[in-house]
Amino acid sequence: MSYDVIIVGAGPCGIFTALELKKKNPKLSILIIEKGNSIGKRKCPKRKTGVCVCCKPCNITTGFAGAGAYSDGKLSLSPDVGGNLPKYIGYEETKKLINYVDDIYLKFGADETIYGIDKDDEIRNIRKKAISSNLKLVECPIRHMGTEEGYNIYSRIEEYLISIGIELSFMNPVKDLLLDENKNLIGVLADKEYYSKKVVIAVGRDGSDWLSNLCIKHNIDTETGDVDIGVRVETRNEIMEELNESMYESKLIYYSSTFDDKVRTFCSNPGGEVSTEYYDGNLAVVNGHSYKSKSLKSPNTNFALLVTKHFTKPFKSPIEYGKHIAKLGNMLSGNKVLVQRYGDLKKGRRTTEDRLFRNNIIPTLKDAVPGDLSLVLPYRILKNIEEMIEALDNVTPGLASDETLLYGVEVKFYSNRVVVDKNFETNIPNLYVGGDGAGITRGLMQASVNGIVLGNILAK
């Protein structure tokens, strides 16, 4: 089984690598190997039954389109959001390729509406309030595909890839790289040996642990990456109305007064639902999504508050650190997500079912377990989150209400950042990496752009 290019991972980075490769050189033989299902078989039983059956691998986080297929489907149209690509290819080039990728999503059915570009007066008022609270407002136009429409868009892309001759192999996790006696890369080992002189590893966050171990085994150069840990906040739409209607998703950054740590809002879902993702089969972490259809909207808005920490030597295990904290939460909740009222957290008491029942804000994650996040998250992270909520309350009055819900733990798994050259090639010749799992991008758009860059490089 020999190919011109093998791509490991069928997330946005892998998909757009293949698209660009075929566009630039239609004669290339390309294989995408994915450990999850095709998009048509990515069915989550919990969506209907309310009970997770621990599918292996998880159909929410793995399969064609990666976690993006079941996410809120937001395309951030600014180089300032979603990863580190400008550091690799330059700001203007990133901006140009974002527009290029955006056109591709539009051709496959993305909504033409862009949020955050026609509300100058409203955004100016939000920025004024943010500045007075030591918050930095990052303006970023957003194209919202929606959870259900994103699924349809990626279904069309999968069909198109097959129609242009790209081979897709699902439910086929890659076990290792294949090297010859001179340590030259010759392919990958999955259910059998697949040969190629060029391999792209484009796994997402679910594959970051696998990639980290692969780097250790084959001495692939890495550098210490960041750790993002926090909570998902849920409040009523009325509280977030100004931000939701003006920007859809507001990007706000805060540096805590106590520790000077970076805290940021992430993945806001107006009218959305809080959801659970499972990693390694049974590690429950919290996330959120929002449907496009108004009939499927909830009365609540949810978003993440993430504390970013960059550790120095001898620390080199960001994934293990994040998993350790998530496991503490799972230990207290029976492998589910914890939920706590903000007022209870400030008063140093756990949330009970009785207090949750009489709450004005009704949890959209129905099987979340009332508990105490202070038994899970380190004091420093909780203090940062509390300060951020109080600062945000000046921008969105009512957010610091006792009834605001906090779900934990939200963790973004990134491996140590893989060291690459200007072509995204590792210290192993002809082995390329890209996407979220490699620590280069952090979202749908920049991961897709990274794929376009890789496709251009490999097509030469």
* Residue range 297-328, pLDDT digits in tens: 999 999 999 999 888 778 878 888 999 999 99
Q: Answer whether 63's CB lies under 8 Å from 56's CB.
A: no
- Which residues have CB under 8 Å from 165's CB, separation 6+? 22, 26, 29, 30
What pLDDT digit, counting tens, does each position of 170-182 carry? 999 999 999 999 9
Q: Which residues are within 8 A (CB) of 47 and not within 5 positions of it... i.e. 6 or more apart?
A: none
Q: What is the pLDDT of residues 402-443, one digit of tens each?
A: 999 999 999 987 767 899 999 999 999 999 999 999 989 988
| pLDDT number for residue 227 | 84
Tokens encoding 110: 């993305």
Q: How far is CA 117 from the centre of its chain?
A: 24
364 or 417, which is more confident: 364
Delimiting residues of CATH 3.50.50.60 domain(s) in the chain:
2-110+145-222+419-458
* Helix-, strand-, coil-residue percentages of the chain, each rounded to 5: 35, 25, 40
CATH of domain 2-110+145-222+419-458: 3.50.50.60
* pLDDT tens-digit series, residues 105-153: 999 999 999 988 888 899 999 999 999 999 999 989 999 888 788 889 9
